[in-house]
């Protein structure tokens, strides 16, 4: 069960599957049965928003009502001290029972659902988001004993190992959502080629005729050779001090440029983000090239027209400059891209575009079928 209020998504999330929400659900169910709680759930709070996750003994209606309305009027939660540390607390320590019974929260949510005494223990916190283990006994049951609080604290500590904490800023969280929906194939890989995550567009990379092959979670080039150039490039991208670089994925007659970006995780492990420039969205905009490479607008226009397959004579005529001036722009562009020739420049521009287009829904002209990727 997962009921939530509208607004900002919580920064603390639990992954699906046997190691995530299912594990939390089983743990909470065991806790409720073992200590005689009528209900137990994980409460995720982010500002004025809340979500009820992995509830046991709570109906869908009760969970939804609490998440959308009653959590703002809950006197227990409002009275939780900021410096409570790792302690588990009883509801009556926070609010006197007499005052609680006079509250609208008691009349509108607690009593109709048959709840009485409550207990609370922190599970995790990240930025302005907190995860709280919330347990409730029936209206006629006894308050929580000291031993109950010790068990509650221990269970909350175990849940803290399951809940994944994310320190993403609002901007980074929005970017992550955009990447998931982007038309650009994006894959997060371990150095051995094991896929950790991929967006839906990445399916095109290992579809029939695509440049890569995926068996289970392992991604290789079409040959499947563990010592291929693709495998060596992944290992190189994850090496200490590695810099982002562009490779060419063999995709039929035309190589598909892809950017390999090392990403350092909080655990210290390095993974590799692969972003591929597919033909449907391979050409960057003039503004994106100028901003990313520090070029003038005229130089950026040359770069984009190169990607669109125009010859030098057509480029100079299109933007109204002499061949001499165009050659100067090309020299500057090749130097910025560390490219030896036009083919390398185009491949590297398209590879950079793979990362740029992740953050843009704008359609772009198709990339040219020109040359081969540098080795």
Other Cβ atoms less than 10 A from the Cβ of 70: the count is 19
pLDDT given at position 114: 95
How far is 318 from 253, CA to CA, in rounded Å? 28
What's residue 186's pLDDT? 80
Q: How confident is the model at residue 166 (pLDDT cuts 50, 70, 90)?
A: very low
Higher pLDDT, 327 or 345: 327
Domains and CATH numbers, the chain: 2-165 (3.30.450.40), 189-274 (no CATH), 281-357 (1.10.10.10)
Helix (H) and strand (E) counts for the chain? 14, 15
* Residue 46, both tokens: 């982010």
Q: Is the pTM of this model over 0.85?
A: no
User: Coil, strand or helix: which one is 371?
Assistant: coil
CA 279, 270, 21 angle in degrees (round to 5)? 90
Q: For residue 267, what are the CA distances in angstroms to 19, 218, 287, 299?
A: 18, 22, 36, 41
Confidence of residue 108 (pLDDT cuts 50, 70, 90): very high
Half-sphere exposure of 338 (CA within 13 A, CB side): 5
pLDDT at 98 over 80: yes
Q: Any idea which residue has 């198709």 for tokens?
A: 366
Contact predicate 268/255, CB 8 Å: no
Confidence band of 95 (pLDDT split at 50, 70, 90): very high
Q: What is the pLDDT of residues 172-205, one digit of tens each?
A: 344 444 455 566 788 888 888 988 777 778 888 8
pLDDT at 240 over 70: yes
């Amino acid at each position: 069960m997962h009921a939530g209020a509208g607004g900002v998504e919580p920064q603390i999330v639990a992954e699906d599957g046997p190691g995530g929400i299912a594990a939390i659900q089983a743990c909470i169910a065991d806790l409720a049965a073992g200590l005689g709680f009528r209900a137990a759930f994980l409460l995720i709070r982010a500002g004025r928003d809340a979500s009820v996750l992995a509830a046991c003994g709570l109906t869908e209606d009760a969970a939804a009502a609490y998440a959308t309305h009653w959590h703002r009027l809950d006197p227990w939660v409002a009275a939780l001290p900021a410096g409570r540390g790792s302690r588990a607390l009883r509801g009556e320590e926070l609010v006197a029972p007499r005052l609680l019974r006079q509250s609208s929260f008691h009349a509108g949510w607690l009593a109709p659902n048959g709840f009485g005494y409550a207990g609370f223990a922190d599970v995790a916190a990240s930025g302005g988001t907190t995860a709280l283990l919330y347990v409730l006994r029936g209206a006629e049951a006894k308050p929580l004993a000291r031993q109950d609080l010790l068990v509650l604290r221990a269970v909350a500590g175990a849940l803290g190992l399951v809940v994944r904490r994310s320190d993403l800023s609002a901007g980074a969280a929005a970017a992550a959502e955009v990447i998931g929906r982007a038309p650009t194939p994006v894959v997060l890989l371990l150095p051995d080629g094991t896929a950790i995550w991929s967006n839906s567009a990445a399916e095109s990379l290992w579809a029939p005729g695509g440049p890569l092959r995926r068996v289970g979670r392992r991604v290789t080039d079409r040959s499947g050779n563990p010592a291929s150039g693709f495998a060596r490039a992944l290992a190189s991208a994850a090496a200490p001090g590695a810099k982002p670089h562009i490779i060419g994925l063999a995709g039929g007659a035309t190589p598909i440029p892809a950017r390999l970006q090392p990403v350092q995780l909080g655990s210290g492990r390095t993974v590799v983000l692969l972003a591929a420039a597919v033909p449907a969205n391979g050409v960057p905009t003039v503004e994106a090239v100028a901003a990313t490479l520090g070029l003038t607008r005229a130089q950026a226009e040359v770069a984009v027209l190169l990607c669109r397959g125009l010859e030098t004579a057509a480029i100079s005529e299109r933007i109204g400059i002499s061949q001499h001036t165009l050659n100067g722009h090309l020299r500057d562009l090749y130097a910025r891209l560390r490219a030896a020739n036009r083919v390398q420049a185009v491949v590297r521009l398209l590879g950079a575009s793979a990362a740029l287009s992740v953050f843009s829904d704008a359609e772009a002209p198709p990339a040219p079928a020109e040359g081969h990727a540098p080795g």
